[in-house]
Amino acid sequence: MADVGNVKSYAVARVAGDLMSPANRRARLTVFCYHQVLTGFDNLRPGEPDEQQFLNDIRLIDRVFNVLPFGEAVKRLESGSLPGRAASITFDDGYANNHELAAPILLSAGVPATFFIAGGAIDRGVMWNDLVIESVASAGSASQATKLSATLAELKYRPMAERWGAAERMYRNAIGPDLPRLMMTREMVADLANRGFEIGGHTLNHPILAALPDDAARSEIEGCAAWIHDVTGQTPKSFAYPNGVPGRDYQPKHAVMARDAGFEAAASTEWSVARPGTNSLNIPRVGPWWRQGRTLTAGLCRGYLKSYIAR
């Protein structure tokens, strides 16, 4: 966007933020949701930033917002002790590029972040949707993008074993017998924790919780808390619902399960900004809107206004 990198636009955004997201009792919390940082543009993953774009994002966020780890930020939203223009940066799933590309940028900027990890995907090395993406890409047909989104949308809501079976078959037929490792290793997750990043849960196998029987949903949520404790030695306090659309991908009962498993804050993928009184287990998030067709200040105001109008 034209206004990114422009010192005046940061100043305007900060003034707007000071008005709509002051410190303490009337504070708002803007939570950014990332998945991957790539070495270069990938037309199959067009929404994911490359290193340079991510560096620009972090500089921008750091100039406009006061960034806190997700768990701490939600706790301070609840107690009315957030700084003005508060924000958190979160990553879902646990891709290796979070450790290789994102973490060094965050560390050198001195900006905290929270990584929500699907432990089963770490142990398997890959997410099922990436197997589908790689398989369809190797076919190289003109209609590949259409076919890809149709396949992903269809498989997403199938039972887990069926979804994984279909994705693995697709990959082995299209590419070969050995599945790639795209996710972090356990050692990388532990390294992020040692470097001071918050590690949160994202279930074990990334199911749509609302599509699971209750006992299976509960063991996915409890299992990821135990997995993180195993790997990092720390008890996770933050969680993100897979796919994350409230009412469709998870229900209020899943928030209760998360709380029972020891999580104190949980993130959805509803596009909004949290306000005083927002349920700590239903914290909405936003994407970096300045790369998605809105100017810095317009997107910022849209999020804050939504938090004043909602409910």
H or E segment at 114? strand 114-117
Which of residues 119 and 242 has its CB atom nearest to Zn ion in the complex? 242
Phi and psi dihedrals of 282, rounded to 5? -140, 55
Can you tell me the distance from the alpha carbon of 306 to that of 30, in angstroms, rounded to the nearest whole number? 12
- Whether residue 285 contacts residue 271, with contact meaning beta carbons closer than 8 Å, is answered with yes
Q: Which is closer to Zn ion, CB of 4 or CB of 152?
A: 152
Of all residues in this chain, which one has the CB nearest to Zn ion in the complex?
92
Task: For residue 219, give the amino acid letter.
Answer: S
Looking at beta carbons only, is 93 or 249 nearer to Zn ion? 93
Contact of 94 with 122, CB cutoff 8 Å: yes
# binding residues, Zn ion (CB under 5 A): 3
Minimal distance, residue 291 CB to Zn ion, in Å: 20
Q: Least distance in Å: CB of 92 to Zn ion?
A: 4
* Contacts with Zn ion, 236-255, as mask; x by CB under 5 A: ------x-------------
Stretch that binds Zn ion, among 80-88, 91-99, 193-201, 213-221 (CB under 5 A): 91-99
Q: What is the DSSP letter of 310?
A: -
Question: Whole-number minimum distance, CB 127 to Zn ion, in Å?
Answer: 8
Stretch of 11-19, 70-78, 87-95, 97-105 contacting Zn ion, by CB under 5 A: 87-95
Is 93 or 222 the residue whose CB approaches Zn ion more closely? Answer: 93
Determine the interface stretch with Zn ion among 86-94, 98-106, 133-141, 277-285 (rule: CB under 5 A): 86-94
Of 171, 172, 185, which Cα lies nearest the Cα of 130?
Answer: 171
Q: Which of 93, 134, 220, 222 binds Zn ion (CB under 5 A)?
A: 93
Binding status of residue 72 toward Zn ion by CB under 5 A = no
Encoded tokens for 199: 């590690």
Cα 157 to the chain's mean position, in Å? 19
Going residue by residue from 142 to 181, which x/- string records binding to Zn ion, judged by CB under 5 A?
A: ----------------------------------------
Helices (H), the chain: 7-20, 51-64, 70-79, 96-97, 103-109, 119-124, 128-139, 144-156, 160-174, 186-194, 214-232, 252-260, 296-309
Nearer to Zn ion by Cβ, of 13 and 261: the residue is: 261
Q: Is the dihedral of CA 70, 256, 283, 275 positive or negative?
A: negative
CB-count burial class (<10 Å; 0-12, 13-18, 19+) for 235: exposed
Q: How far is the CB of 299 from Zn ion (least distance, A)?
A: 23
Q: Work out whether 92 is an interface residue with Zn ion (CB under 5 A).
A: yes
Q: Which one, 82 or 182, has the nearer CB to Zn ion?
A: 182
Contact between 222 and Zn ion per CB under 5 A: no
Q: Which is nearer to Zn ion, 13 or 224 (CB)?
A: 224
State the Cα–Cα distance between residues 78 and 80, nearest whole angstrom: 6
Give the nearest distance from C-beta 181 to Zn ion in angstroms. Answer: 17
Rounded CA separation 152/146 (Å): 10
The distance of closest approach from Cβ of residue 216 to Zn ion in the complex, given in angstroms and rounded to an integer, is 17
* CA dist., res. 36 & res. 110, Å (int): 19
Which tokens go with 66?
A: 């006061």
Query: Looking at beta carbons only, is 21 or 97 nearer to Zn ion?
Result: 97
Which residues between 270 and 309 bind Zn ion (CB under 5 A)?
A: none
Give contact residues for Zn ion (rule: CB under 5 A): 92-93, 242
